[in-house]
Amino acid sequence: MNTHFPLSIRRNLLAYKFFRLRTRALNDAFRAMQTSSKITLEVFPGIGQRITPSLKLIGIQSIRVAEVVGTFKWETDFDHQFRPLQKRALNRWVNAYLRHEQNGWDPILAHKIDGKYFIEDGHHRVSVARFLGMEFIEATVWEYSSEGAEVCQDWPCCERSSSKAYAVG
Protein backbone atom coordinates (compact mmCIF):
# COMPACT_ATOMS: atom_id res chain seq x y z
CA MET A 1 0.00 0.00 0.00
CA ASN A 2 1.21 3.50 -0.77
CA THR A 3 2.42 4.98 2.52
CA HIS A 4 2.41 8.54 1.15
CA PHE A 5 -1.30 8.92 1.85
CA PRO A 6 -2.33 10.48 5.17
CA LEU A 7 -3.00 7.92 7.89
CA SER A 8 -6.77 8.53 7.86
CA ILE A 9 -6.98 7.73 4.15
CA ARG A 10 -4.78 4.63 4.57
CA ARG A 11 -7.02 3.42 7.42
CA ASN A 12 -10.10 3.87 5.22
CA LEU A 13 -8.46 1.98 2.34
CA LEU A 14 -7.53 -0.83 4.72
CA ALA A 15 -11.06 -0.91 6.12
CA TYR A 16 -12.31 -1.33 2.55
CA LYS A 17 -9.88 -4.25 2.03
CA PHE A 18 -10.98 -5.78 5.35
CA PHE A 19 -14.66 -5.66 4.40
CA ARG A 20 -13.99 -7.14 0.95
CA LEU A 21 -12.05 -9.98 2.57
CA ARG A 22 -14.76 -10.48 5.20
CA THR A 23 -17.48 -10.50 2.52
CA ARG A 24 -15.65 -13.26 0.63
CA ALA A 25 -15.32 -15.25 3.86
CA LEU A 26 -19.02 -14.83 4.69
CA ASN A 27 -20.04 -15.82 1.15
CA ASP A 28 -17.91 -18.96 1.43
CA ALA A 29 -19.42 -19.67 4.86
CA PHE A 30 -22.92 -19.37 3.42
CA ARG A 31 -22.04 -21.75 0.56
CA ALA A 32 -20.47 -24.16 3.04
CA MET A 33 -23.66 -24.22 5.12
CA GLN A 34 -25.65 -25.15 2.02
CA THR A 35 -23.32 -28.04 1.20
CA SER A 36 -22.59 -29.10 4.80
CA SER A 37 -18.90 -28.29 4.28
CA LYS A 38 -16.67 -27.12 7.10
CA ILE A 39 -14.71 -23.89 6.73
CA THR A 40 -14.06 -23.09 10.38
CA LEU A 41 -10.68 -23.02 12.04
CA GLU A 42 -9.55 -26.17 13.77
CA VAL A 43 -9.64 -25.90 17.55
CA PHE A 44 -6.62 -26.92 19.61
CA PRO A 45 -7.03 -30.72 19.85
CA GLY A 46 -7.95 -32.53 22.99
CA ILE A 47 -9.63 -29.68 24.80
CA GLY A 48 -12.22 -32.16 26.06
CA GLN A 49 -9.68 -34.94 26.61
CA ARG A 50 -7.30 -35.10 29.54
CA ILE A 51 -3.96 -36.21 28.17
CA THR A 52 -0.65 -35.25 29.73
CA PRO A 53 1.41 -33.82 26.89
CA SER A 54 5.12 -33.88 26.35
CA LEU A 55 5.85 -30.18 25.97
CA LYS A 56 8.95 -28.40 24.70
CA LEU A 57 9.65 -24.72 24.04
CA ILE A 58 11.19 -24.50 20.56
CA GLY A 59 11.62 -20.73 20.72
CA ILE A 60 11.31 -18.09 18.03
CA GLN A 61 11.37 -19.38 14.46
CA SER A 62 9.86 -18.70 11.07
CA ILE A 63 6.86 -20.91 10.39
CA ARG A 64 4.91 -21.41 7.18
CA VAL A 65 1.70 -19.41 7.23
CA ALA A 66 0.02 -22.27 5.34
CA GLU A 67 0.73 -24.62 8.28
CA VAL A 68 -1.25 -22.43 10.68
CA VAL A 69 -4.57 -24.27 10.78
CA GLY A 70 -6.19 -23.53 14.09
CA THR A 71 -6.74 -21.62 17.25
CA PHE A 72 -7.14 -21.96 20.98
CA LYS A 73 -10.31 -19.92 21.28
CA TRP A 74 -11.20 -17.75 18.27
CA GLU A 75 -12.72 -20.34 15.92
CA THR A 76 -15.81 -18.20 15.27
CA ASP A 77 -13.83 -15.04 14.45
CA PHE A 78 -11.89 -16.37 11.44
CA ASP A 79 -12.50 -18.96 8.75
CA HIS A 80 -10.10 -21.76 7.81
CA GLN A 81 -8.11 -19.29 5.66
CA PHE A 82 -7.89 -16.82 8.57
CA ARG A 83 -10.25 -14.40 6.84
CA PRO A 84 -12.20 -12.35 9.38
CA LEU A 85 -15.82 -13.31 9.99
CA GLN A 86 -16.64 -10.70 12.63
CA LYS A 87 -16.95 -6.96 12.09
CA ARG A 88 -15.43 -6.35 15.53
CA ALA A 89 -12.05 -7.50 14.16
CA LEU A 90 -11.78 -4.42 11.91
CA ASN A 91 -9.66 -2.13 14.11
CA ARG A 92 -7.28 -4.86 15.25
CA TRP A 93 -6.87 -6.10 11.66
CA VAL A 94 -6.15 -2.57 10.34
CA ASN A 95 -3.73 -1.90 13.22
CA ALA A 96 -1.91 -5.18 12.54
CA TYR A 97 -1.56 -4.22 8.87
CA LEU A 98 -0.21 -0.74 9.76
CA ARG A 99 2.24 -2.17 12.34
CA HIS A 100 3.58 -4.52 9.68
CA GLU A 101 4.11 -1.56 7.32
CA GLN A 102 5.85 0.55 9.94
CA ASN A 103 8.18 -1.67 11.95
CA GLY A 104 7.02 -5.23 11.60
CA TRP A 105 5.37 -7.52 14.12
CA ASP A 106 6.26 -9.17 17.36
CA PRO A 107 6.29 -12.96 16.99
CA ILE A 108 2.93 -14.69 17.27
CA LEU A 109 2.47 -17.42 19.90
CA ALA A 110 1.94 -20.80 18.25
CA HIS A 111 1.59 -24.37 19.50
CA LYS A 112 2.76 -27.16 17.18
CA ILE A 113 1.12 -30.58 17.15
CA ASP A 114 1.76 -33.15 14.42
CA GLY A 115 3.20 -30.53 12.04
CA LYS A 116 0.24 -28.16 12.44
CA TYR A 117 0.23 -24.84 14.25
CA PHE A 118 -2.50 -23.52 16.52
CA ILE A 119 -2.49 -19.84 17.43
CA GLU A 120 -2.84 -18.60 20.98
CA ASP A 121 -1.85 -14.99 20.23
CA GLY A 122 -1.55 -13.34 16.82
CA HIS A 123 -4.71 -14.22 14.91
CA HIS A 124 -4.99 -10.80 13.27
CA ARG A 125 -1.30 -10.87 12.26
CA VAL A 126 -1.81 -14.30 10.65
CA SER A 127 -4.89 -12.97 8.86
CA VAL A 128 -2.95 -10.00 7.48
CA ALA A 129 0.01 -12.23 6.57
CA ARG A 130 -2.28 -14.51 4.54
CA PHE A 131 -3.95 -11.49 2.93
CA LEU A 132 -0.52 -10.16 1.89
CA GLY A 133 0.53 -13.56 0.55
CA MET A 134 3.39 -13.95 3.02
CA GLU A 135 4.92 -17.41 3.10
CA PHE A 136 6.46 -17.21 6.58
CA ILE A 137 5.73 -15.49 9.88
CA GLU A 138 7.85 -15.27 13.04
CA ALA A 139 6.47 -17.26 15.97
CA THR A 140 7.36 -18.33 19.48
CA VAL A 141 6.65 -22.05 19.21
CA TRP A 142 5.68 -24.60 21.86
CA GLU A 143 5.78 -28.16 20.54
CA TYR A 144 3.55 -30.93 21.88
CA SER A 145 3.95 -34.65 21.51
CA SER A 146 1.24 -37.00 22.70
CA GLU A 147 3.28 -40.15 22.04
CA GLY A 148 3.32 -42.19 25.20
CA ALA A 149 1.15 -39.60 26.90
CA GLU A 150 -0.68 -40.59 30.04
CA VAL A 151 -4.46 -40.19 30.10
CA CYS A 152 -5.38 -38.23 33.22
CA GLN A 153 -8.35 -39.28 35.31
CA ASP A 154 -8.75 -35.79 36.73
CA TRP A 155 -7.56 -32.44 35.43
CA PRO A 156 -5.10 -31.53 38.24
CA CYS A 157 -2.72 -34.34 37.20
CA CYS A 158 -2.24 -32.53 33.90
CA GLU A 159 -1.51 -29.27 35.69
CA ARG A 160 1.20 -30.90 37.81
CA SER A 161 2.83 -32.65 34.87
CA SER A 162 3.96 -29.60 32.89
CA SER A 163 4.47 -25.88 33.15
CA LYS A 164 1.78 -25.36 30.50
CA ALA A 165 -1.42 -27.19 31.41
CA TYR A 166 -3.06 -27.85 28.06
CA ALA A 167 -4.64 -31.12 27.15
CA VAL A 168 -3.79 -32.54 23.75
CA GLY A 169 -5.21 -35.37 21.73
Widest distance between CA atoms in the chain: 60
* Helix (H/G/I), strand (E/B), else coil: 96: helix
Residue 166 lies in a domain: no
Q: Is 155 left (phi over 0), alpha (psi -120 to 50) or beta?
A: alpha
The answer to whether residue 1 sits within a structural domain is: no
Name which of 39, 42, 128 is nearest 91 in CA terms.
128
CATH of the domain at 147: 3.90.1530.10
Tell me whether residue 70 is in a domain.
yes
How many domains, in total, are found in the chain? 1
pLDDT interval class at 155 (50, 70, 90): very low
Q: Report the pLDDT value the prediction gives residue 73, as an integer from 0 to 100.
A: 83
The pTM (predicted TM-score) of the whole model is: 0.78
Rounded to an integer, the average pLDDT of 91-115 is 94
The whole domain housing 133 covers 7-161
Question: Would residue 111 count as lying in a domain?
Answer: yes
Q: How confident is the model at residue 2 (pLDDT cuts 50, 70, 90)?
A: low
More confident residue, 83 or 115: 83
H helices present in the chain, as ranges = 7-35, 90-102, 123-132, 155-161
In a domain, 168, yes or no: no
